[in-house]
Structure 1
Amino acid sequence: MANTSDLSDPHRSHSRGRFGLLVPAGGLLPLDPTKLVGVVLFFAVWYLGHVLIGPYLPMPHVVIGTALRNLVSSAYFVGIGLPEGGYMPHLLSTTRTAMLGCLVGGAIGILSGLLSAHSAVVYQITRPVAAFLGTIPILVAAPFFLIWFGVSDLAKIVLVAFYSAVALHINALRAVEILPPHYLDYARTLGAGHGTVFWRISFPGSVPQLFGGLRNALGAAWGLAAITEILGTQHGLGRVIIATWSVQDITTMMGGLFLLSLIAVVADAILMAARARALRWADTDT
C-alpha cells in the first residue's frame, strides 16, 4: 500500500496529471497506468498483425526471444557474415552515431539559430543556407557523405550532425521569435546590453522550445544512422538489416529493431529527465 503520508506532506509539491492522477511536480509516477495501457495495446496490435499478415510479421515473444538469445554472442551472425558479438557491437555503433551526431549537430544548430535571432547579418547569411540544406532528402545526401568521408563511423556521425544542425537551427530561431517581446523591451529599458539580453533573456526563455527540438532531432537520428549503415558499413543496425534481409530472416531483423527501440526509449527518458531538471522553474508540459 502506498504511503499516504506523502500526499499530505505540505513540503512536497504535487500536481494533477492526466485523468486527475495526483503526481509529484517533477514528473509522472514511476508506473503510469496510461502508459501501461499503451504498451498492452501496442503488443495486442502486434499479435493481431501477425494473425493478418502471417510469418512476415513474427509474433512479439518470438522476436524478443531471438533478440535476447543473440544479444552478446551469436554463431548464427558469424555464419551470415556478421562480426562476432551478436547484436551488441551493432547497437553500440548505431547508438554512438546517433548520440554524437545529434550532440555535435545540435550544438551547432542551436548556436547558429540563436545568433541568427539576434543578428540581422547572421540571419541573412544563414537563412538561404538553412532553407537549401533543409530540402535535401536523406537518401540523396547519404551516398555523398560516404564518398567524401569513406565508409566509416565519421561519415555516419557527420551525416546525422548535418541534419541535426539544420533542424535545431530552425528550432532555435523559432524559439527566440515566439518569446514575448515585452521581456526584451523591459531588459533594454533597464539598460541591458546585447550580451545580457542573450544570456539572461533569450537563451533561458528558449530552453523549453530547444528541448522539444532536441527531442525530435534525437528521435530522427536513430533512423538517419541506420539508413547510412544500410548503404555500407561494417557495424551498425543497418548492417544487420542488410545481412538478415539477404537470407529472408525477418525475425532476426525485427529483433535488432526491437532492441534499438528500447535504447531509443531510454535515451528519450533521460533527455526528458534532464529537461524536467533544467526547467524546474517553469510549469510546462512535456
Structure 2
Amino acid sequence: MNKATRPATRKKRRNGLRRTLTGLIVPLALLIAWQIASGAGLISAQLFPAPSSILKDFYDLLASGEYIGHLKISVYRALLGFAIGGSAGLLIGLAVGLSRRTEEALDPTLQMLRTVPLLAITPLFILWFGFGELSKVLLIAVGAFFPLYVNTFLGVRSVDLKLFDVARILEFSRAKQIRRLVLPAALPNVLLGLRLSLGMAWLCLVVAELMGADRGIGYLIQDARSFMQTGVVFVGVFTFAIVGKLADSFVRLLESKLLKWQDNYRG
C-alpha cells in the first residue's frame, strides 16, 4: 500500500468503526432497559422474557443443532427466491428501460401486478403449487422482482441523453452501449433496487414459512408460539432482523466499492 494512502485508509476504518458503534447505542440501550424492567418485574416475563432468558433459549437451540438447521433452510429459500426474482427484475427492467415498445407492452401489466398484495395471492400459490418448496421460493421471487425491476427501469431512463450522443460518435454497438454506458449510469438505482429486493425477499420468507412450512426460522416461530415459548419466538424475530441487516450492510459495502467514481457519492 502506498504510504500516502495509509492515513486515509486508517481514517476511513476509524470512521466505519465509529458509525458501527454509534448505530449500536440505541439497540444496546433498549436491551439494557428491557433487562432492568424484567428484573424489577415491571413487564410480564411470559410476554416479554428478559434478554438474558432469550439468550439462554438461543444457546439451547444452538447447542442442539436445531437453530442452525432452520437457519440454513431459511437462508437457502431467501437466496434462491431472490436469485430468480432479482435476475428477472434486472433483465426485464433493462429491456423495458431501453425500449419504448417493450415498455408499452409490459409495463402496464407489471405495474398492475405490483399493486396486488402478496398476502392476497398466497392462497393461490398454495392451490397451484401446494405446501412444498416451490410455492415458497416463487412467493419470495415475486416479492424480490418488483423493487429491482422498478429501480432498474428508472435508472436506465435517468441516463443523460448526451451520453448516447457521445456513444454514437464513438460508434459503440448496442451491447457496448449497455455495458459501458447504461449499466454504469444506472448502477446507483440498480444497487438501491438490490437493497430493497433483498429486504423484500427476507420479508416474503416470513410469509412463505408461516403459511405451512415444516422447517425454517418462520416454522420455528410458529411452533414456539403454539407452545407459548415466547423466548424462542424472540430468537426467531431477532434472527430475521439481524440477517436482514447483514444483507443490507453487504449491499452498502458494494455501493462503497462500486460508486467511488461518482462525484456526489458520500459513502
TM range (shorter): 0.7 to 0.9
| Correspondence for 1:195 among 160, 165, 175 | 175
* 1:278 to partner: Cα distance: 3.1
Q: Aligned runs of 1:75-154 on 2, under 5 Å? A: 85-154=65-134
TM-score, structure 1 length as denominator?
Answer: 0.81
* 1:177 to partner: Cα distance: 2.1
| Correspondence for 1:184 among 152, 164, 167 | 164
Query: Partner amino acid for 1:29?
Result: L
Q: Decide whether aligned partners of structure 1 residues 169 and 190 sit closer, same or farther in structure 2, where only a CA change above 3 A counts.
A: same
Match of 2:221 in 1: 241
| Correspondence for 1:32 among 12, 16, 20 | 20
What secondary structure is seen at the aligned counterpart in 2 of 1:136?
coil
Query: Partner amino acid for 1:205?
Result: A
Q: Decide whether aligned partners of structure 1 residues 137 and 204 sit closer, same or farther in structure 2, where only a CA change above 3 A counts.
A: same
Contact 1:13 1:24 in 2 (8 A): no
Match of 1:11 in 2: 5
Match of 2:50 in 1: 59
Decide which moves more: 236-245 or 175-184: 175-184
Match of 2:232 in 1: 252
- CA distance in 2: counterparts of 1:258 and 1:154, whole angstroms: 26
> How many corresponding residue pairs?
263
* 1:112 to partner: Cα distance: 0.5
Query: Partner amino acid for 2:16?
Result: L
Contact 1:91 1:260 in 2 (8 A): no
* 1:13 to partner: Cα distance: 7.0
TM-score, structure 2 length as denominator?
Answer: 0.86
The structure richer in helix per residue is 2
| Correspondence for 2:12 among 15, 23, 27 | 23
* 1:49 to partner: Cα distance: 7.6
Match of 1:70 in 2: 61
Deviations 1:155-211 (A, max 9, x none): 111111112112211110011222333222322343334322211111111122211
Contact 2:82 2:140 in 1 (8 A): yes
Decide which moves more: 180-189 or 117-126: 180-189
Decide which moves more: 213-222 or 173-182: 173-182
What secondary structure is seen at the aligned counterpart in 2 of 1:216?
helix
Match of 1:272 in 2: 252
Contact 2:82 2:201 in 1 (8 A): yes
Q: Which stretches in structure 1 are left out of the alignment for 5+ residues? A: 1-5, 16-20, 74-84
Query: Partner amino acid for 1:41?
Result: A
4+ residue stretches of structure 1 with deviation over 4 A? 44-53
